[in-house]
Amino acid sequence: MSHPILACRGVAKLYGAKASRFVRDGRFAGAPEELSAAGVVSAVRDVDLEIARGETFVIMGLSGSGKSTLVRCLSALTPPSAGEVLFEGKNLNAMAEGDLLQIRRHQMGMVFQNFALLPHLTVLGNVAFPLDVQGVRKAEREAKALEMIRLVGLSGREGRFPRELSGGQQQRVGIARSLAVKPDLWFLDEPFSALDPLIRREMQDEVLRLQGLLKKTIVFITHDFDEAVRIADRIAIMKDGRIEQIGTAEELVLHPATDYVRAFTQEAPRAKILTARAVMAPAPSGADFAGRVEARARIASFAHEVEAADRPFAVVDGGAVIGVVDRLAMIDVLVGRERKAAAA
């Protein structure tokens, strides 16, 4: 990656009175037994990652795996105990407090699971709040806030208080507020887990729509693989404070680096993740095709047609046939048996 907007090198976050014993020369060093004997929790350790500008990067893992702590380190809410977090190449932890505050206020936006709205402020007041903190004048901040309220579809509700809104609407206010400062980096920490499944899906579409429009860099935490698959460019899977693997959903499903990732992705919606390219077989010469599918098309989008056909479908890339998929390939996918991809 040429110029990541955000990068981590050897990041660790330790909790406990004796935590500093396990940091030497800015690096984390300690065996699990030593840490537990000293009563130290390594909420995050050994994290290296790079996030590209415009990327939607999802962090997944079970409860307690360190997702929120890592995001707190990435967003400079908390300093790591060891390692570096680089924002646009600058080390956030070596920065003067004032510069850090500027970056947090002007270049980062956050959305939380519990909405974190101010109950005594209206929708307009809540969305304008971060601009108020920045010292933006009233007329300007209200104009900007109204623009964001319109963007998230809440026009007409500017004067309502949070308690007068549904959960989904409250989270739209949270989203509008986090976007009001026009951040480069947008952090969303399990933003939709308090919402019911239908609203949750609607909000995922909302994030996708806003991302298409605003082209932010997104760091998104979720427990839900379906949610991750819908929105992520890449997914990091965390376990016990460490990142087990980073990859596209397809890479994680097809090439899990550890048994943990294999187990974690077992229930993943394979047909929504795998592409024609990943399941195709080499095309026999002179084959008679029932139709064509794009190499990058997800299986779910064409499985029906292919299953119903008595001949294979051609897999095409840039107009050229690069392989075939047939009924058998569909069954292989559904039972989790992948074929080797044909040379692409």
Binding site for ligand ATP (CB under 6 A): 15, 41, 43, 61, 63-69
Mutual orientation of helices 167-179 and 123-134 as an angle, nearest 10°?
Answer: 20
- Spell 255-293 as b/e; 16+ CB within 10 A means b: ebeeebbeebbeebbbbebbbbbbbbbebeeeeebeeeb
Rounded least distance, CB 41 to ligand ATP, Å: 5
CA–CA separation, 30 vs 126, rounded Å? 44
Determine the straight-line distance between the first and last CA of the chain, rounded to whole angstroms. Answer: 23
Nearer to ligand ATP, 41 or 121 (CB): 41
Rounded least distance, CB 65 to ligand ATP, Å: 4
CB 44 within 8 A of CB 13: yes
**DSSP character at residue 283:** P
Rounded least distance, CB 59 to ligand ATP, Å: 8
Rounded least distance, CB 56 to ligand ATP, Å: 19
Rounded least distance, CB 300 to ligand ATP, Å: 28
Residue 338 phi, psi dihedral angles, 5° rounding: -95, 150
- Spell 6-41 as b/e; 16+ CB within 10 A means b: bbbbebbbbeeeebeebbeeeebebeeeebeeeebb
Rounded least distance, CB 46 to ligand ATP, Å: 14
CA–CA separation, 168 vs 193, rounded Å? 11
Rounded least distance, CB 105 to ligand ATP, Å: 23
Supply the DSSP string of 321-339, one letter for each residue.
EEEEE-HHHHHHHHTT-PP
